[in-house]
Chain A
Amino acid sequence: DAGVTQSPTHLIKTRGQQVTLRCSPISGHKSVSWYQQVLGQGPQFIFQYYEKEERGRGNFPDRFSARQFPNYSSELNVNALLLGDSALYLCASSLVGETGPDNQETQYFGPGTRLLVL
């Protein structure tokens, strides 16, 4: 079975531009989460979507937005790019949207999209 896929793998943009990153979850998974990993740091939570509804949002400016489609794939959009947006953007999918003691939930991560803003 295919894992989480992300496109593109690499992207170079200039300041002020807009970018769209895409994620396809594992078949049957209904939850998608986005994380930003700046070089040398751990991933930071940006968004979670479950059944096409926003379930959670991290501490990111409104320039960041996302959506989930009926087939559960997802897009992350970033407007007015800044140099500081340069990072690896990770997508993770899971069956459901909660972690619990009876729910052996696991988030599976894609390989990421590496964004460089010049």
Chain B
Amino acid sequence: AQSVTQLGSHVSVSEGALVLLRCNYSSSVPPYLFWYVQYPNQGLQLLLKYTSAATLVKGINGFEAEFKKSETSFHLTKPSAHMSDAAEYFCAASFTGGGNKLTFGTGTQLKVEL
């Protein structure tokens, strides 16, 4: 079955430290992949997306993600965490033949500590 898995429901980092949020997909054909961020009591905001143009994708707020077909992964990174990055992050996939339906992972809550 086509699915998206996010390892680690909660991640805590110190301000200024590297942020690494993990996402893996399961499908025979690589999907289009997205990272969204959700702040408390708000909707989803797109951080970045992979649509096969380039494997290293840069997004907003200093985030980037690398698509690795061999590992079926699309991990999200940021070199230096900021307090304002504290939020919930969702990885999502648009699988072939699904229109623009997004299949989401269960989310990772990022906490940034002083």
Using a CB–CB cutoff of 8 Å, the interface residues on chain A facing chain B are 4, 31, 33, 35, 40-45, 48, 50, 55-56, 58, 90, 92, 94, 96-101, 103-112
Contacts and interface: CB of A to CB of B under 8 A. Distances in A.
Given A104-B51, A106-B49, A111-B42, A99 B100 contact: yes
Contact of B101 (A40, A41, A56): A56
Contacts, number: 73
Q: How large is the interface on B (under 10, 10 to 19, 20 to 34, 35 or more residues)?
A: 20 to 34
B109 to A, nearest CB: 9
Interface of B: 4, 32, 36, 42-46, 49, 51-53, 90, 92, 94, 98-107
B49 to A, nearest CB: 7
14 contacts: A42-B90, A43-B104, A45-B101, A48-B101, A56-B98, A58-B101, A99-B51, A100-B51, A101-B53, A106-B49, A107-B46, A107-B100, A110-B43, A112-B43
Q: What are the 7 A-B residue pairs with the smallest beta carbon separation, nearest first?
A: A42-B104, A109-B43, A109-B44, A99-B94, A111-B43, A56-B99, A99-B100
